[in-house]
Amino acid sequence: MALSTGSNFIKPDDAFRAIVEAHRGLSEEQSADLNAALVLILANHIGQLDVLDEAIALAKRQMLQASQQQQQQQ
């Protein structure tokens, strides 16, 4: 199974809103803990190490690109 990077949600805005709302009222530490728990739950749901590895690599690339863009804008 290849990593799916397109939206699989009928209403992607609702999915984004659900994640944002889950963080409402949490401290930064609680929010980080929620993210970690959510990542582990969803990684287990995927259940395929090759797909997880691909997702990790993509997330790192996106994070580094965003960081580089922020540095260039300063």
Total residues belonging to the chain: 74
Does pLDDT of 74 surpass 90? no
Percent of the chain with pLDDT over 90: 93
Q: What's the mean pLDDT in 15-25?
A: 97
Here the tokens at position 14 are: 């609702």
Distance CA 21, CA 63 (A): 22
Distance CA 45, CA 33 (A): 18
Q: Is the dihedral of CA 26, 28, 29, 32 positive or negative?
A: positive
Token pair 């809103």 is found at: 17
Q: What's the mean pLDDT in 60-64?
A: 96
Q: Please tell me the pTM assigned to this model.
A: 0.80
Alpha-helical regions (H) of the chain:
12-23, 28-46, 49-73
Does pLDDT of 57 surpass 90? yes
Does pLDDT of 1 surpass 90? no
